[in-house]
Amino acid sequence: MDKIYERLTQVFRDFFDDDSIEIDEDTTADDIDDWDSLSHITLMSAVEDEFGVKFTMGEVSGMGNVGEMAEIIKARGTKL
């Protein structure tokens, strides 16, 4: 999981153009400036590209925090 969080952190830093972003399993949109409902869809696309996964619409809209995202990535086990 550490490797997943390292890669997710880099995706978030690149996407939001902010090298100070640190994420963990409890990180939510409330913790990151500019992470709103519009950017969420594009961010999910960037995560999908990085890990070679496809999230369902239910997963995209239902993710409560980064930990849930990481668990889905781990379960899919692709491009890790």
CATH number, residue 30: 1.10.1200.10
pLDDT in tens, 13-69: 999 999 999 999 999 999 999 999 899 999 999 999 999 999 999 999 889 999 999
In three-state form (DSSP H/G/I as H, E/B as E, the rest C), the secondary structure along the chain is: CHHHHHHHHHHHHHHHCCCCCCCCCCCCHHHCCCCCHHHHHHHHHHHHHHHCCCCCHHHHHHCCCHHHHHHHHHHHCCCC
Domain count of the fold of the chain:
1
**pTM higher than the cut 0.95:** no
Range of the domain at 17: 2-76
